[in-house]
Homo-oligomer: A and B are copies of this chain.
């Protein structure tokens, strides 16, 4: 790996006709960490896959949670193969699918079948409460992890980490949560304490920040909110979190690149400075 990097640097230095982008140094912040810097697909709700991957390349991020608007649930095997090939051409891995809302048994079936065909072993989902026993059955059948997405005070279903835990604590240990730290904070919770408390059930994380720890809190660059990101990164290491930390950037969603870049830069600055 180091030799490859050295080779790239030498190539960049001596090959004047290469475009700037090829010479972009890779960030090394994530090296040696158990967790991954990643992107939540919803960040790119206004962009097609090519535009999405170009932005991910700009900010040097290599893991994506796949949303259905980039890869529909009814995609056939060829479409899925093409999708993965496109991701690979940008050095990006789709590590999970979702969030997928599941209101019926059929939607649970369809989500698990989709994830299997996509080839991931983690679903981020929002199942109605009465479907939880069925999800419990499915995770055993498929040996998948299922991360329930929490959505703060805006939606009644799964407002915070404690609420999810209360619903899953007696179910299969493969059912847990996608800890959305912004929404958890907006629901009056401390997402750092919740990561510590529910670590064994946290399978995915949505990185974001909020201007206030209330329903009125607005989503913002992770550098500009009330959640103490350095403290959060230290907790990631303390609990040995080994999943993805996916930036879900929801401010200025039609021109998000600057906010994404500032957020990813900030996250990596914190990672480097607390190593």
Contact = CB atoms under 8 A, between A and B. Distances in A.
Interface of A: 9-10, 12-14, 20-21, 23-29, 58-60, 211-212, 214, 216-218, 220-221, 223-225, 229-230, 233, 251-252, 257-274
A273 B269 contact: yes
Contact of A261 (B12, B26, B29, B258): B258
A235 to B, nearest CB: 13
A221 B223 CA distance: 17
A167 B270 CA distance: 38
A212 B28 CA distance: 14
Indicate how many identical chains form the complex. Answer: 2
Contacts of A233: 273
A272 B270 contact: yes
Among A260, A266, A271, chain B packs the most CB atoms within 10 A around the CB of A266
Interface centre among A13, A26, A252, A270, by most B CB within 10 Å? A270
The DSSP consensus for interface residues of chain A is helix
B224 A24 contact: yes
A167 to B, nearest CB: 29
Contacts of A26: 224
Contact of A224 (B27, B258, B259): B27
Contact of A269 (B59, B258, B265): B265
A15 to B, nearest CB: 11
A212 B13 contact: yes
A216 B14 contact: yes
B27 A223 contact: yes
Instruction: Report which residue of A23, A221, A229, A262 has the largest number of chain B beta carbons within 10 angstroms of its beta carbon.
Output: A262
Q: Which of A23, A260, A267, A272 has the most CB of B within 10 A?
A: A272
B265 A261 contact: yes
A221 B265 contact: yes
Contact of A24 (B58, B220, B229): B220
Contacts of A217: 13
A13 B215 CA distance: 9
